[in-house]
Amino acid sequence: AQSVAQPEDQVNVAEGNPLTVKCTYSVSGNPYLFWYVQYPNRGLQFLLKYITGDNLVKGSYGFEAEFNKSQTSFHLKKPSALVSDSALYFCAVRDRGGGNKLTFGTGTQLKVEL
Amino acid sequence: GAVVSQHPSRVICKSGTSVKIECRSLDFQATTMFWYRQFPKKSLMLMATSNEGSKATYEQGVEKDKFLINHASLTLSTLTVTSAHPEDSSFYICSARDRLAGLDNEQFFGPGTRLTVL
């Protein structure tokens, strides 16, 4: 069974400061990893994904994530946070061994303050 | 980019009635669509996988007779909540994968439907 853990329910950061949203995963094989963002009463928007290759993945809106196989982590980062980045962020994993099923973490609420 | 729409965006109904939610892929074809349910401040719970031309695959604990799924075409899947009760009130989100994309491709999500059962 695959699973995702997002250990922080909420992350607070000042605008202009770097931000990190943590994610660890568990799959039986090699993973496909994804980050999505959700604004209030909206669906999920795709941010970035790790499939293979370079462990540092760059995505939309200046976000990036680093795949660390030894630590089974895929933390989301941004060098300089904006107030408009405030939203709910979900990490998700899919076992590339088969199947379409995405498993999501519990979500991390990011709050960026002036 | 790939766009998925849902209709309606918000619906209020009386207990005991049925509600149909549509999920459409607007600029791509999707042999597979997914239906999720999201409770307030909670993660997405996969309810079922909708397969074009065949029966949906339901996750454990999801009543298939209560949540009817039909994937009639490569661009449309519908979720019907039958005999709705207040506990069915939730935010329902669909997603779709482009049938021409590889297995590593991401799912594209609809904007969600807020269902309130009185």
- In tens, the pLDDT along A51-97 reads 888 999 999 999 999 999 999 999 999 999 999 999 999 999 987 76
Q: In the predicted model, is pLDDT for residue B103 greater than 80?
A: no
- Asked which of B21-30, B32-41, B79-88 is least confident by mean pLDDT, the reply is B32-41
The sign of the dihedral angle between the CA atoms of A70, A74, A80, A83 is negative
Which residues in chain A are contacts of B41 at CB distance < 8 A? 107, 109
What's residue A43's pLDDT? Answer: 83
Q: In the predicted model, is pLDDT for residue B43 greater than 60?
A: yes
Which residues in chain A are contacts of B51 at CB distance < 8 A? none
Question: If you average pLDDT over every residue of chain A, what do you get?
Answer: 92
Inter-chain residue contact A46 with B44, CB threshold 8 Å:
no
Out of A32, A46, A52, the one facing B108 most closely (by C-beta) is A46
- Residue B99: band (very low, low, confident or very high) from pLDDT cuts 50, 70, 90: confident
- Residue B104: band (very low, low, confident or very high) from pLDDT cuts 50, 70, 90: low
Q: How far apart are the CA of B101 and the nearest CA of chain A, in angstroms? A: 12
Helix, strand, coil in percent for chain B, rounding step 5: 5, 50, 45
What's residue A89's pLDDT? Answer: 97
What are A67's two structure tokens? 């795949």
Q: How far apart are the CA of B18 and the nearest CA of chain A, in angstroms? A: 22
What's residue A102's pLDDT? Answer: 87
- Cis peptide bond upstream of B8, omega within 30: yes
A16 touches A81 (CB < 8 A) = yes
Q: In the predicted model, is pLDDT for residue A99 greater than 70?
A: no
> CA separation (Å) from B92 to A20, A65, B13, B78?
28, 28, 15, 12
Q: How far apart are the CA of B17 and the nearest CA of chain A, in angstroms? A: 24
Q: What are phi and psi of B31, to 5 degrees?
A: -75, -20
Inter-chain residue contact A49 with B104, CB threshold 8 Å:
yes
Q: In the predicted model, is pLDDT for residue A98 greater than 60?
A: no
Distance CA A100, CA B98 (A): 12
Q: What are phi and psi of A84, to 5 degrees?
A: -70, -10
Name the E strands within A1-114.
Answer: 3-5, 10-14, 19-21, 24-26, 31-38, 44-50, 56-58, 64-68, 73-78, 87-95, 103-104, 108-113
Which residues in chain B are contacts of A102 at CB distance < 8 A? 34, 46, 107
- Residue A28: band (very low, low, confident or very high) from pLDDT cuts 50, 70, 90: confident
Q: In the predicted model, is pLDDT for residue B1 greater than 80?
A: no
Which residues in chain B are contacts of A44 at CB distance < 8 A? 44, 93, 95, 109
Chain A residue whose CA is closest to B42: A106
The sign of the dihedral angle between the CA atoms of A81, A55, A88, B78 is positive
Using alpha carbons only, give the angle B109, A38, B32 rounded to the nearest 5 degrees. 15
What are A38's two structure tokens? 């959700």
What's residue B54's pLDDT? Answer: 85
Inter-chain residue contact B106 with A107, CB threshold 8 Å:
no
Inter-chain residue contact A43 with B32, CB threshold 8 Å:
no
